[in-house]
Amino acid sequence: MILQRINKLIRGVEETILSWGVISMAVMTIGNVLSRKFFNHSWSFSEEVSQFILVIITFMGVSYAARKGRHIRMTALCEMMTPRVQKAMMLIVALVTMIILFYLCYHSSLYMLKIKAYGRVTPALRIPFYLVLIWVPIGLFLGAIQYGLAFVKNLREKEIWLSYEEKSEYKEFDTAPDILDLSCKNNPSDTKMLLSQDNQVNPGVSCSDDDPTISREV
């Protein structure tokens, strides 16, 4: 499908940039420490380059975190809702977030073009500053694409999807086994409960003082 190809292409770009960004930052930091330790000389450009890489990793990470469904979420309210309401909320969240990210991408692009027109350069390496800022709209744009893909995924599928690749982890927890186990331990002389595979509680054999465990029907 076209969406799968787009998602695969974006994933490759994100993983390549993020992995090499982290490696480059580590090399830059370690190299500067070793140079200062053994040669008594610090790299004047090390801090500047590390800041550039940090900007790239941060805003490319917006898209990657959206792909993996790892952005901060408030789930307390959503877990109390029915699956249908959860689905509707996920659609609204994905759509609104996509619109906001596109809006921020637009204004960050305008700011980047303004900085380019001013001709600002970095202090140490004299690199045009817009080459650093250009990663801000790129990351926001890719993040908006990810939320757009999540919106389409939730429209097509019955399940709830946090992103195009990650399904929602919201589950209904069954406390019946714990309740039955507590009942048998507190009242060993009462009737023992059998828990079938479909989690239906049925009367059965009496609980034993020596073995208060709960058996399951097969």
Q: What is the pLDDT of residues 80-138, one digit of tens each?
A: 878 888 888 889 989 999 999 999 999 999 999 999 999 888 887 888 999 999 999 99
97 shares a domain with 150: yes
**Pairs from 151-156 (Cβ < 8 Å, separation ≥ 24):** 151/91, 151/94, 151/95, 151/98, 152/3, 154/87, 154/90, 154/91, 154/94, 155/91
Render each residue's pLDDT in the chain as its tens digit; 218 residues: 787 788 888 888 888 999 999 999 898 888 888 888 888 888 878 888 888 999 999 999 998 888 888 777 777 777 787 888 888 888 998 999 999 999 999 999 999 999 999 988 888 788 899 999 999 999 999 999 999 988 988 888 888 888 877 777 655 444 444 444 544 555 544 444 444 444 444 444 444 444 444 444 43
- Residue 139 CA to residue 145 CA, distance in Å, equals 10
- Residues 64, 144 within the same domain: yes
Same domain, yes or no, for 146 and 199? Answer: no
> Residue 212's domain spans which residues?
173-218
- Specify if 187 maps to a domain: yes
Q: 139 and 80 in one domain?
A: yes
* Structural domains counted in the chain: 2
- Residue from 126, 139, 153, 138 nearest 65 by CA: 139
Asked, for residue 35, whether it belongs to a domain, the answer is yes
**Alpha carbon distances (Å) from 100 to 14, 60, 107:** 21, 16, 11
178 and 149 in a single domain? The answer is: no
- For residue 31, is it within any domain? yes
Give φ, ψ of 168 to 5 degrees: -65, 145
Residues 214, 177 contacting (CB under 8 angstroms) = yes
Together in a domain, 27 and 90:
yes
164 contacts 151 by C-beta, under 8 angstroms: no
Query: ∠ CA(119), CA(13), CA(127), 5° rounding?
Result: 20
- 147/41 Cα distance (integer angstroms): 46
| Cα distance between residue 145 and residue 136, in whole Å | 14
Task: Indicate whether 165 belongs to any domain.
Answer: no
Same domain as 119, residue 11: yes
- Residue 151 forms part of a structural domain: yes
Residues in the chain, how many?
Answer: 218
Task: Give a yes or no: residue 162 inside a domain.
Answer: no
Q: Let me know whether 179 and 110 are in one domain.
A: no
118 with 82, same domain: the answer is yes
User: Buried (b) or exposed (e) across 177-196, using 16+ Cβ within 10 A?
Assistant: eeebeebbeeeeeeebbbbe
Q: What is the pLDDT of residue 167?
A: 77
